[in-house]
Each structure stands twice: as C-alpha cells, then as structure tokens.
Structure 1
C-alpha cells in the first residue's frame, strides 16, 4: 500500500510489525514471472529497524500510486466534504505530463539523451554513504540498455522532482554491447542494407 501524502510504501517488518519505506530505500526491484496484468514485483528494501526485508508490490502501486492514482479521500476545506483524492491528483499529473514534464526521468547513456521512465524500470538502487544521493540502475524502456545514474533521493521519491544535475556512469555493459553488435551484424547482412548500399 502506498501513502501519497507521506510518499511512503507500507510493508511488514519482522521487528516492528510495519515499515514506512521511501522508494529510494528500495534496493532491488524485480518483476516476478507469471501474471502480467497486474504484474507483481518483488522488492528488497532497507527498513528503519536496520534490516533488509523482502516485499511484494503490484505494478499499479509501484508506478501509478505515487501519482495519486489510487484509493483515498481528503477533506476539502472549501466545501467541508470528503472528496476522492484521485480526481485532484490525476488531473494535476495529466496536465504536467501534457506539458512535457514526466514524473521520473533518467539519462540513457547509450542513446545520450534523457528518457521518461516509471519506477518499474529501476532494478537496482544503492545509497551513497551519507544517504544524500542514490545510484539507480535503469533498463531503458526504449532501447533496452542499462544505464546507471546518480541522483538525489528526492529525484526518486517525489514524482515530478527532477534534479538540475545528475551523475551518469559512462559505461556500456557487456550484454548491451553484445546486443548492439548482433543488431549491427543483422542489419549489415540484411536485404535492407544491400538496397541502401545500391542507392549510394
């Protein structure tokens, strides 16, 4: 369950019973095989008790709940009525996305460009020693390559908060390099390449 006001996920903790966990406290996010709708992710997170625990989160809770697209009500002080939270926050999120502002983004090193993403694209997160920044390994939803960015915890935890400057690890991982060589080789020996070469 996600608490949109605290920007925290709720998980069970064997020591304290319940843990309120920020997205930046996740350490690993992995989609489980099986059902695709809704997809279920296994996460491991650093808990306030000092331990690291496993948890399960659905795709909707991981990607959409932080935008306020879930259950909940708030007291509208102007009308003195309880109103659905989703109506207000969904409209706000939609307007920001229409304006070209994405809730989360990262820099894809192989493509050399920023890309919009959702937390389900993260698969490893590692905090700095002082916990002021987080290293995130992200699988690009466009090219499929892995990029590692160094961002603030707020960049991860708060939708629509984008750091002015991020760190990018300038490294192409072996699996991505092999895939790029295979794609180039396939293109090189394809009929499309022959047709293109003849037109030169």
Structure 2
C-alpha cells in the first residue's frame, strides 16, 4: 500500500536497487499499464524513473493513483482558532471538489474528439516521454480519454503534471 505525501506532491516509493525511500511524483511515471483481472478494484503497474537513474515498477490500485492525492491533500494541520493540531478529513476532498468545480482537475487532457479540456485522473495515463531525462520541461503524454475511451497524445509542461489543487 502506497501513501501520498501532499507536501511533496507524490507517493512513497522504494528504489528497487538500493531500497532507499523516495517520493514518486507524477512526472517520474514512464508507463502505466492496467493489469488484467477484475474490474473493481483495478490494479496498475506503474513503471517510473527512479532517483538512481533506473526504471522500477510499482503495483498500485486505482484508489492509490486517483483518490490518495485528493484524500491526503489536507490531513493533520495546525488549527489557528484552537492553537492545536487538528485533523479535518473533509478538508482535502473539499478543496479538490472546489478546484474541480472551477475546472482544475488532477490532470487535464486535450482529447481531439472533445471541444474543451477533458478532466482526468492519473490512472488514465499510459506513458510519459520526457524531452530530456533528468531536466525535463516537456513531456509527450499518452493517455486513454476517460470520456470516450480513445487513445490520444499531447505535449504537456512539467507543471501540468503536478498533483496540487489550486486554491483560487
């Protein structure tokens, strides 16, 4: 089971070579393959570029890919009103819900079969090809459109692959 670190903007991962812990950001993904099997809950094999320079794999459920970034966004926090640590389990999903209502989804795709941006989740991605390993600014992103289930590709900036909700 993976956890999502909202401050770092990524999931916990372990280097397959050294065993060192690291943060797995969406921009480190190279391939996402949905595994055959039951429809619920679906499982995905995520191949990612590790800090060691090699590619490793991580088995993740759709809930880990899509829901953890939303649910973990605001967990424990310092409550200024009470002067104590507090936990509002609805704060993260509430912030994401407001962000999504304004059109800012975790991932926004441009499917040629739709007039406007398509709201999507990390599990919709299939492959990410950086323009330059290590210092990538642009990615060729291959995906399956969540609305029409057609495959597509688009060029995205690294910032578009950051899983942080927008407050404004």
TM-score > 0.5 by shorter chain: yes
- Pairwise CA distance, 1:123: 0.5
8 Å Cα contact 1:96-1:102 kept in structure 2: yes
Distance 1:153 1:137 in 2: 14
- Pairwise CA distance, 1:137: 0.4
- Pairwise CA distance, 1:31: 1.4
What SS does structure 2 have at the residue aligned with 1:54?
Answer: strand
Query: Aligned runs of 1:118-137 on 2, under 5 Å?
Result: 118-129=121-132, 130-137=135-142
TM-score, length of structure 1 as denominator length = 0.71
Q: Does 1:48 align with 2:48?
A: no
Q: Which has the higher contact order (CA 8 A, sep 6+)?
A: 2
Name the count of aligned residue pairs. 161
CA RMSD of aligned residues (A): 2.2
- Higher alpha-carbon deviation: 76-85 or 35-44: 76-85
Structure 1 gap segments, 5+ residues each: 162-200
Distance 2:12 2:148 in 1: 33
**Counterpart in the other structure of 1:102:** 105
What SS does structure 2 have at the residue aligned with 1:45?
Answer: strand
Q: Could you list the runs of 4 or more consecutive aligned residues of structure 1 that deviate by over 3 angstroms after TM superposition?
A: 68-72, 110-113
1 or 2, which has the higher helix percentage? Answer: 1
Structure 2 gap segments, 5+ residues each: none
